[in-house]
Amino acid sequence: MPKRTDIRSIMIIGSGPIVIGQACEFDYSGVQACKALKSQGYRVVLVNSNPATIMTDPQLADATYIEPLTAQLCEMIIAQERPDALLPTVGGQTALNLAVQLQQSGVLDRHGVELIGANLTSIQLAEDRQLFNDTMREIGLRVPESRVVNSVDGALAFADEIGYPILIRPSYTMGGAGGGVAYDAEELRSVAANGIHQSPVGEVLVDRSLLGWKEYELELMRDAKGNFVVVCSIENLDPMGVHTGDSITIAPAQTLTDKEIQRLRNMSRQIFDRLGINTGGANVQFAIDPVEGDAVVIEMNPRVSRSSALASKATGFPIAKIAALLAVGFTLDEIPNDITQQTPASFEPSLDYIVVKIPRWDFRKFAGADPVLGPQMKAVGEVMAIGRTFPEALQKAVRALDIGMDGFVSEPGEQTTPEALSVPTAQRLFQVAAALADGIGFDDIVAETQFDPWFVQQMRELMRVYGTIAGEGRRLSDICADEMHHLKQVGFSDATLARLMRTDEAAVRQRRKTLGVSANFYRVDTCAAEFQAHTPYLYSTYEMEDEAAPTDARKVMILGGGPNRIGQGIEFDYCCVHACFALKELGYETIMVNCNPETVSTDYDTADRLYFEPLTAEDVMNIVDREQPAGLLVQFGGQTPLNIAGELERLGAPIWGTSVDTIDLAEDRQRCHALMRQLNIAQPAGSSITTRAEATAAAAKIGYPVLVRPSYVLGGQGMAIVFDEAQLLAWLDEHVQWHGHHVLIDQFLDDAYEVDVDALCDGEQVTIGGIMQHIEQAGVHSGDSACVLPPYKISYFHLDIIREHTRRIGLALGVRGLFNIQFAVKDDQVYVLEVNPRASRTVPFVSKATGHPLARYAAQIACGQTLSALGFTEEPPVSGFFVKEAVFPFQKFPGVDTRLGPEMRSTGEVMGHAATFSHAFVKSQSAAGLPLPTAGTVFISVNDFDKAAVARLARDLARLGFALVATDGTASWLGRIGLQVSRINKLSQGSPHVLDAMRAGEIELIINTPLGGTAHEDGATIRSQAYALGIPIVTTMSAAAATAQGIKQLREKPLSVRSLQAHYAAVN
Amino acid sequence: MQAALVLEDGRVFPGEGFGAQGCATGEIVFNTSMTGYQEILTDPSYYGQIVAMTVPHVGNTGINLEDPESRKVWVSGFVVRSLSPLVSNWRNRGDLATYLCERGIIGITGVATRALVRHIRERGVMRAVVAHGSLADDNIALADIARNSQDMSGANLVDAVTAEAAYNWTQGSDAQWYGLHEDNSCGPLIVAYDFGIKRNILRMLADRGLRIAVVPARTSPADILKMQPAGVFLSNGPGDPAAVDYAIANVRALLGELPIFGICLGHQILALALGGKTEKMRFGHRGGNQPVKNLDSGAVEIAAHNHGFAVSAGSELGGGEITHLNLNDNTVAGLRHRGLRAFSVQYHPEASPGPHDSFYLFDEFVDEVAANV
């Protein structure tokens, strides 16, 4: 069937901010869909609230709306743009839910918009747990015994019938949000209550738990003619009970016979038939009894997903792109396979390599969070590695994680017991390594982990080989070519070998090369080499022949950011992709190196050549050796590539742009301080210390409160503000293992305004890209603070000082590209807090707000262009206001204090833009998922320092008609100035207390500023519960002021929407 | 123990031996199926061939009692990247190495199979030898052995694999894998020519209510007609179809007498009987992921393939028409002669291993047979 000509304009909904369960895989799928539909001549209207995405770049769609993903604003966009169709399947659960809402509320019918790529019936059949289970039974497929309930009592009653453990899965949520396992009635009460709350329709599915069954997933596509293909089979290492997003997974499935895999394929096809999925992709998850082989259907997602992004990267079959083409009427046999060029997309990829995905967790950021993995996803990112065998792929995946592990080995000093192995955690893989090393029995390991013995045997074999090097006091010179080749074939890194043989990595590398053992590259070709691959999508291995076929073109290599984690996310992928596009335009051949399967950078369509490899010096140098690039760009992928830049340079790699020495100058505190002194630029007083005694002395000299952190950290890891010596000592004991590690102690600038500047320098000149003012006061990590462009409360006087400082610092450092400076303004003094000689987290935000692609400029500068030549010599004016708000994963970590501090904990961001600051702020809050109320009751509880400021705020809110509720201290303070306040009990005062009121839905807004540095227990509970209950909560006074202002304006004037394209046109 | 795969052009792929020791020759081919090695090993169509699997880990699910496609292992040698060190599957009854050893088949692991596939892709399939044990280091001698072995072109291998005597087949599929299970105790009788037939073809026919008499390849048309069947099935099998001259003649004699359905070699023999031509392909199609377009419906089936010869495109089929095309290279994948009630496909609707998209062809045959009763 040819493409549809009755539709001309198509709206695509993105997935909003990066959250746990929905990360940049939907930027990848959205970008693919936009590109595919545009190339077919459709007008694309895009809406997404996330400015850090590539999909929201104005050139990818015809009209790009960075607006909150709410039905109300979407309807305004639809009314304005009049699209003919809506494609809801490439923006994750968020887009699917929003599309259902738009359909059910009549918006789509009202404006004559057709849903394409999925229909309402199939979405409902797939998403409604009860309907889905009933439908499966109706077509003769097995599902776990289950019942949908909408009350805790209902859940308890069903559990009595079928017995524990019981699995709870809420309807219409993503990443298993709100899911859990209950082993008894007490646990069930709390898990069920939470699940019911988190489900937008207030219902959960209570399942007989299939804990310990094997879990599989098939990624599938079907077109309007019924042509049906399995793109990929995926096997989970972790058995049922661990969310698939938290599972280590392997593709293709390794432990099924053909009959078993075809049975799953047939079942999937039956499900597609019954649900009417006929123009796109979907996945189906199965559980298989390891003893009897029974296959049970767990769920299906009628859309592009995280695992379909993984499957696309694992196979070279671009699911999202093809899904978009199927949605507009193409059939699979009409779409060519990009890689072979001569065969059609109507086939099933055959893999002659193994793909391993390992999730990346960040539990250290969430003290008090339950580290046990379960049905609710907790990972913030993932890596994928490709190897010819499972051991090779596993070891590559481990070192790609960038967690300090150089392969599948036990962590130093790690001891484990069989019992510990039964608990799924982020460390379990390494505990298995430790168990194997400690000689815990194979059968015990299998029984406790419930990993398939096949995988455990492969791991045992790895540890055996490890032992042959570790145990015998082997020396590098003892290793012959054959043994070295074997060690490399099973994935041991030079770093591991160096460690075991007490030498350094460079020596291993040298020895390896002397022995003639070097990596070769194979292509990911969808067809196991049956046809020639025309797309250079490569992975390394140690085998025969090489398929890299490097060209003689002048080429530049871009190092990506690795796995998403808190502090390093999609923003850096955005920068890498832009750098790549810029270099292509300049005529360079571009080479991308990255190991994150969720990203646009690892789309084989992005760079001219893609190496899907870990970002370690060894792996990158293997590619450098083969490709001989003219230059490497390390400043776009965040901290990960910067960390290996020095090593790469030592090994002879040509680093372009900002030099390694400049990076060190900015990151080395001593050197940076000296430079600031030389430039006569103020910095907070600070010290670098290595003992407890030095710490207390330094803190006393600087004066409390002080900011403390370990040196060289990402995203403010471990950073804290301490208010007295006791707190300081407690922090040191908890966070610091001395042995010469430095701890930084800085003066904390209380009540200061923070300002972020992104700027470019070409060595001769500095141009500022944007100046952002944080809405929260200093002390909140810049990645967690809302910020506004342009600044709304900083004087021109100070802004000019900031501009001048920026210019001088850029030139003094000799930056060649982007840099970012954090300033603080306190008592008329401008301080420099931090200088980052690389693309920062805010680059995409500034680029969207100003219309200037800063990352692109930076890449051009790295290639020798000047700012003058680029015509970017003036700080761009900003029309209206752009507010960036951070989005937090606290709902996934119940019990964790949500108070913001110097340690970054947000996973993503949204942008609100409008002509006024207040409307922009309102939009940002709405986009972040906590829309501000326009009426109701506000609960106020502030610390003593904020009492003065709260008076005016409370008065404003009262004038807006809000009822005020406060606990004793705040209430009497507000009462004294004549405000009507209802008193409410603190938790310690007993029920009915504030938490009861929150749970009863009697509170619409919370203003709670924590006291000093101590975790005030009431406050912590209130803040954590506010997230769980979805009540907007403001934890700083400046944000509270913005909130009040926003609510006021929202009541006075309705919001409006404007595309970026229209905005830029109006500005210029 | 040391082992090697040596090709007739002198290329050597070293590896580690498993299974039997010694030396065996055959045509080196590769298969891209990611599952189903047990079915592949026991498929008589691989007689005379050394099979290399492209999927790296082989042997993971061991050996079970249900999956063999015939009474024995037919490949001359088996080449893999990584033999599984451990077997894990609920149906498992044994491991691959022991299985091959007991059956005298040489296996070789640790082979750079991707390089091998690329070599075959560029140069075409060729004769080769696998050696496991003392012989394995004499590459020059091994290459000579390969060069002196039988060439697949012109080889009639059917006689080596066909049943010695006729027998009846009644067993259908196991209920846990497929849905159809009609009683076949008194259904119409068909005769299946065994050119190297796979059990799953027989199960598929039995599932659909047919009584099946399997006959040796050299059974005469007169003997067949004496059995008064309602249809004739032409099975898959090894070797060059053009070399099986007696089968071509027999089928020609049966054309028009009875509905005929052929698979793989049976398809090629039908085409030759209709007056068509066949040709050797450079490296054939072997795998479970090939797209076949049904020209009647326009639908695409993902199909299991295993063939090194094909019906020549544009060859004269005596009024027959092409019904299916392989979309990867537009080779003939199916044909039909309406007047003579004969049809056939180049690929394997019985799958095993492979997707089940093409089961409908058995239904079509049953319909033809029913119309003839």
Q: Which ranges constitute the DSSP H helices of A628-751?
A: 639-650, 660-667, 669-679, 692-702, 725-735
Is B2 near chain A, with CB under 8 Å? no
Calpha distance A775→A798 (Å, rounded): 16
> DSSP letter at A211?
T
Q: Which of residues 110-129 of B touch A (CB under 8 A)?
A: 112-115, 117-118, 121
Is B153 near chain A, with CB under 8 Å? no
Pairing of strands A228-236, A295-301: unpaired
Beta carbons of B62 and B87 less than 8 angstroms apart? yes
H/E stretch holding B337 reads: strand B332-337
Residue A1062, classed as helix, strand or coil, is helix
User: CB–CB of B85 and A259 under 8 A?
Assistant: no
Which residue pairs from A98-106 have beta carbons closer than 8 angstroms and sit at least 24 positions apart in sequence? A98/A13, A98/A69, A98/A70, A98/A71, A98/A74, A99/A13, A99/A123, A100/A124, A100/A127, A101/A71, A102/A71, A102/A74, A102/A75, A102/A78, A105/A71
Is B328 near chain A, with CB under 8 Å? yes
> DSSP letter at A58?
T
User: CB–CB of A530 and B121 under 8 A?
Assistant: yes
Report the pLDDT value the prediction gives residue A920, as an integer from 0 to 100: 96
Q: Which of residues 23-42 of B touch A (CB under 8 A)?
A: 30, 32-36, 38-39
**Mean pLDDT value across residues B241-270:** 97
Q: Which ranges constitute the DSSP H helices of A818-866?
A: 843-850, 854-862
pLDDT > 90? residue A197: no
Least Cα separation, residue B5 to chain A (angstroms): 14
Calpha distance B270→B250 (Å, rounded): 10
Q: Which of residues 57-76 of B touch A (CB under 8 A)?
A: 57, 60-61, 64, 66-67
Calpha distance A701→A716 (Å, rounded): 23
Which pLDDT tens digit goes with each residue over A835-849? 999 999 999 999 999
Q: Which of residues 127-146 of B touch A (CB under 8 A)?
A: none
Which pLDDT tens digit goes with each residue over A60-88? 999 999 999 999 999 999 999 999 999 99
The count of other CB atoms within 10 Å of the CB of residue A652 is 9
A774 alpha-carbon distance from chain centroid: 22
Position A232 confidence tier, pLDDT thresholds 50, 70, 90: very high
Q: Which of residues 93-112 of B touch A (CB under 8 A)?
A: 112
Calpha distance A367→A360 (Å, rounded): 17
Residues A401, A407, A411, A417, CA torsion sign: positive
Query: Residue A323: what residue type?
Result: A
From B8, B27, B350, B368, active-site residue: B350
Whole-model pTM over 0.90:
yes
Is A390 near chain B, with CB under 8 Å? yes
From B264, B301, B307, B337, active-site residue: B264
Per CB-CB distance under 8 Å, the chain A contacts of B82 are 388-389
Report the pLDDT value the prediction gives residue A322, as an integer from 0 to 100: 97
Report the pLDDT value the prediction gives residue A1013, as an integer from 0 to 100: 45
Is B150 near chain A, with CB under 8 Å? no
Report the pLDDT value the prediction gives residue A919, as an integer from 0 to 100: 95
**Smallest CA–CA distance from A390 into chain B, residue:** B57
Least Cα separation, residue B199 to chain A (angstroms): 14
Which pLDDT tens digit goes with each residue over A703-744? 988 988 876 655 566 788 888 898 888 888 887 766 667 788
Calpha distance A906→A19 (Å, rounded): 8
Token pair belonging to B125: 């399939």
Q: How many CB pairs under 8 A join A and B?
A: 175
Least Cα separation, residue B220 to chain A (angstroms): 36
> DSSP letter at A877?
P
Query: Residue A1011: what residue type?
Result: L
Token pair belonging to A253: 């499935």
Report the pLDDT value the prediction gives residue A1015, as an integer from 0 to 100: 42
**Mean pLDDT value across residues A401-420:** 84
Nearest Cα to Cα of residue B117 among A348, A354, A529, A540: A529
Least Cα separation, residue A390 to chain B (angstroms): 8
Q: What is the ipTM of this complex?
A: 0.98
**Mean pLDDT value across residues B327-352:** 97
Least Cα separation, residue A756 to chain B (angstroms): 51
Which pLDDT tens digit goes with each residue over A857-900? 999 999 999 999 999 999 999 999 999 999 998 878 877 877 78
Residue A882, classed as helix, strand or coil, is strand
Beta carbons of A690 and A337 less than 8 angstroms apart? no
Is A452 near chain B, with CB under 8 Å? yes
**Mean pLDDT value across residues B70-95:** 96
User: CB–CB of A452 and B88 under 8 A?
Assistant: yes
C-alpha angle A640/A525/B12, rounded to 5°? 105
Contacts of A585 (CB under 8 A, 6+ apart): none
Pairing of strands A937-941, A963-966: parallel
Query: Residue A171: what residue type?
Result: S
**Smallest CA–CA distance from B284 into chain A, residue:** A530
Is pLDDT larger for residue B60 or for residue A694?
Answer: B60
- Which residues on neighbouring strands pair with residue B85, listed in sequence order? none
Interface mutation target, options A213, A234, A262, chain B, most CBs of B under 10 Å: A262
Is pLDDT larger for residue A5 or for residue A419?
Answer: A5
User: CB–CB of A346 and B300 under 8 A?
Assistant: yes
Per CB-CB distance under 8 Å, the chain B contacts of A532 are 121
**Smallest CA–CA distance from B329 into chain A, residue:** A343
Return phi, psi of residue A379, to 5°. -70, 145
Which pLDDT tens digit goes with each residue over A968-1020? 888 988 988 889 999 999 888 888 888 889 988 899 999 988 765 444 457 77
Position A938 confidence tier, pLDDT thresholds 50, 70, 90: very high
**Smallest CA–CA distance from B89 into chain A, residue:** A255
pLDDT > 90? residue B241: yes
Nearest Cα to Cα of residue A185 among A220, A150, A155: A155
Which pLDDT tens digit goes with each residue over B276-304? 999 999 999 999 999 999 999 999 999 99
Least Cα separation, residue B366 to chain A (angstroms): 22
Beta carbons of B301 and B292 less than 8 angstroms apart? yes
Report the pLDDT value the prediction gives residue A1017, as an integer from 0 to 100: 58
Report the mean per-residue pLDDT for chain A.
92
Report the pLDDT value the prediction gives residue A416, as an integer from 0 to 100: 80
- Point out the residue among A266, A290, A333 whose CB comes nearest to the CB of B356: A266
The DSSP string of A340-394 is TSSSBS-S--B-SSEEEEEEE--GGGSTT------SS----EEEEEEESSHHHHH
- Is B285 catalytic? The answer is no
**Mean pLDDT value across residues B347-358:** 97
Least Cα separation, residue B147 to chain A (angstroms): 24
**How many CA atoms are closer than 13 Å to the CA of A510, on its beta-carbon side?**
9
Q: Give buried/exposed letters for A44-67 (b at 16+ CB in 10 A, else e).
A: bbbbbbbbbbbbbbbebbbbbbbb
Ranges in chain B annotated CATH 3.40.50.880? 158-372
Calpha distance B42→B196 (Å, rounded): 10
Beta carbons of B300 and A332 less than 8 angstroms apart? yes
- Is B350 catalytic? The answer is yes
Pairing of strands A743-747, B278-294: unpaired
From B27, B307, B348, B368, active-site residue: B348
Is B293 near chain A, with CB under 8 Å? yes
Report the pLDDT value the prediction gives residue A175, as an integer from 0 to 100: 63
Strands of the sheet containing A787-789, edge to edge, are A829-836, A817-826, A753-761, A766-774, A787-789, A881-887, A908-914
> DSSP letter at A11?
E
Q: Give buried/exposed letters for A621-631 (b at 16+ CB in 10 A, else e).
A: bbbbebbebeb
Calpha distance A698→A688 (Å, rounded): 9
Report the pLDDT value the prediction gives residue A365, as an integer from 0 to 100: 82
pLDDT > 90? residue B182: no
Per CB-CB distance under 8 Å, the chain A contacts of B113 are 352
Which pLDDT tens digit goes with each residue over A655-692? 999 999 999 998 888 899 899 999 999 999 888 888 88
- Point out the residue among B56, B66, B357 whose CB comes nearest to the CB of A354: B56
Which pLDDT tens digit goes with each residue over A810-825? 999 999 999 999 999 9
Which pLDDT tens digit goes with each residue over B200-237? 999 999 999 999 999 999 999 999 999 999 999 999 99
User: CB–CB of A350 and B54 under 8 A?
Assistant: yes
Calpha distance A769→B58 (Å, rounded): 56
Report the pLDDT value the prediction gives residue A483, as an integer from 0 to 100: 95
Residue A932, classed as helix, strand or coil, is coil
State in words which class domain B158-372 has: alpha beta
Ranges in chain B annotated CATH 3.50.30.20? 2-147
- Is B101 catalytic? The answer is no
Position A387 confidence tier, pLDDT thresholds 50, 70, 90: very high
pLDDT > 60? residue A417: yes
User: CB–CB of A454 and B302 under 8 A?
Assistant: no
Among the four given CATH numbers 3.20.20.100, 3.40.50.800, 3.50.50.60, 3.50.30.20, the one describing domain B2-147: 3.50.30.20
Query: Residue A460: what residue type?
Result: R
Per CB-CB distance under 8 Å, the chain A contacts of B81 are 352, 388-389
Query: Residue A684: what residue type?
Result: P
Beta carbons of A68 and A923 less than 8 angstroms apart? yes
Position A174 confidence tier, pLDDT thresholds 50, 70, 90: low
The lowest-confidence range among A421-435, A712-726, A762-776, B244-258 is A712-726
**Smallest CA–CA distance from A458 into chain B, residue:** B85
User: CB–CB of A263 and B300 under 8 A?
Assistant: no
> DSSP letter at A931?
P
- Point out the residue among B55, B60, B293 whose CB comes nearest to the CB of A454: B60
Residues B171, B173, B175, B179, CA torsion sign: negative
- The maximal CA–CA distance of chain B, rounded, in angstroms, is 61
Is pLDDT larger for residue A455 or for residue A889?
Answer: A455
Calpha distance A64→A94 (Å, rounded): 18
C-alpha angle A488/A493/A499, rounded to 5°? 120
